Structure 1
Amino acid sequence: MAKAKKTIETLLASKNAPIRSKPKSAATQKQVPDEPIILITNDDGISAPGLKALVEAVKDLGKIVVVAPDKPQSGMGHAITIGHPLRLHSANSFFDGVEAWQCSGTPVDCVKLAVDKVLHRKPDLCLSGVNHGANHSINVIYSGTMSAAVEAAIESIPSLGFSLLDYNIDADFTGAKKFARLLVQQLLSRKVIDKHLCLNVNIPSVDVNLIKGMKLCRQAYAKYEEDFDERKDPNGRKYFWLTGEFINFDKGKDTDVWALNNNFVSIVPVQFDLTDYKLKDKLRKILKTN
């Protein structure tokens, strides 16, 4: 088989656009029998310290393949690239002994390309993160980190999204690494994992010795009270800068916000089925529908 080139160009703008080359399949490389394949991605980009921390945390637990954006993609949500080419380049130099690729698209694009063009199969587990900053409560809606994990779950790949409540580039990922490894070990040790499993895992930004453990939680009703600060650029043209204050309206002690405020790692099971079943039942009594 011809040696794979280091660059792929997948032209999604045209159905008939050729793929110039394909990366060597991670699934066909030399691998320990029954060794799980773990896909790792993020939204902070291929060079983010959080991504490196996550790879280091689970490197010996399976065959690791990284496919991550070539630049930061925070706040992209579940966006996909349509009408523009996607480019995929080798990024092995970012990690020691790990197959890695950087993609010009969104975190969701990364998962889609990884399954179709890099792995040529569904991995056993998909990990996203570790994100720089919180993805608790309403943040899960906007998060590129969590959207990558949700995309994997849609594709029947059990997934976990990890976020550390610290935006600092020099953040200490010791706690995040410890609990990411623990969760992955626990999930891989089980013979049956729900194929649509998706866990939103947030880690408090405190010394690892101060973390009290993990809590299964529900998503808190908390959101940003937003404001757009009106400013002018050097040419006098008006522009707006999004600002806001995070407010927690939920005082429950079973929420992710409460857990994090009390130095617990929060774990919220999320799903891509957005149907409100309780409201659906109520509407049957109100609306005249078939």
Structure 2
Amino acid sequence: MIDATTFERHRRMLFGIAYRMLGSVADAEDMVQDAWLRCSQVTTRVDNPVGYLARTVTNLSLNRLTSAAATREQYVGPWLPEPLVTQPDAGEEVELAESVSLALLVVLETLSPLERAVFVLKEVFGFSFREIAGMLDRGEASVRQVGHRARSHVQARRPRYDTPAEVRRQVTDEFLAACLGGDLNRMMELLAPDVTAWSDGGGKVKAALRPQHGAEKVARFLAAVLTQPMDDPRVHAVDVNGSPGLLLTVAGRPDTVACAEVENARITQIRIIRNPDKLRHVPPTSRPDARGPSNQS
């Protein structure tokens, strides 16, 4: 059996597996709770609690992915993962930033459920192919082949983290200041010419239904979002999945979370989550960096 103490010791790992599998904080929390309900009912001896727990939450997540696929096919506009929002440099949360970045989670969405499971277990959590084969009830050779295929696919598409974190934060902060000041020219200077912005409103709030390409188009879109009428808007510098980002609160409630990718001191990608269903778990921070956006055009 697995007692509560053992389960709690590995809760962070279980949430990490489920979140990377599903891209949803709420669903990941549900999977962890379901895993505990299942494991607490086991009465026989468990020789490898870590492997057993990982197996349980992985298979629960695979089942959830099957039902989620149909829902996402009907999703309005671009689908982005639910963000993990923390204060900048928040210790452990930042250590695995690359393995939990929004950009990587988007890439993982292009894998099959099996490929995603093998990649997460092997590349992020360090389980061997033999262990993963046992978790998924498959042959080791087959799992190894799936793992190599998934790794090649992700490496070809995952973002490169050559820019130091302090530079990414500086560029993000400067861009935020330009947005708040309504300085469209400065915004475009900080954007790469081929920048792309994705915004996820889920059909519930204002967001672009297609990705926005190009510095001018992206700058004007962001300016339009930030200058719309709002009740006591506050902007906070935060980390979003371990990368520099911002949180916009309106009347004390999370309204928008955004995260930027930076290369050569310019922003190359911006991901904006506005779907209120995906911001329910985001706590409003009590340390605003600015009172709110300017209404200048």
Structure with more relative contact order (C-alpha pairs < 8 Å, separation 6 or more): 2
Q: Give the TM-score taking structure 2 as reference length.
A: 0.28
Tell me which protein shows more helix as a share of its residues: 2
Tell me which protein shows more strand as a share of its residues: 1
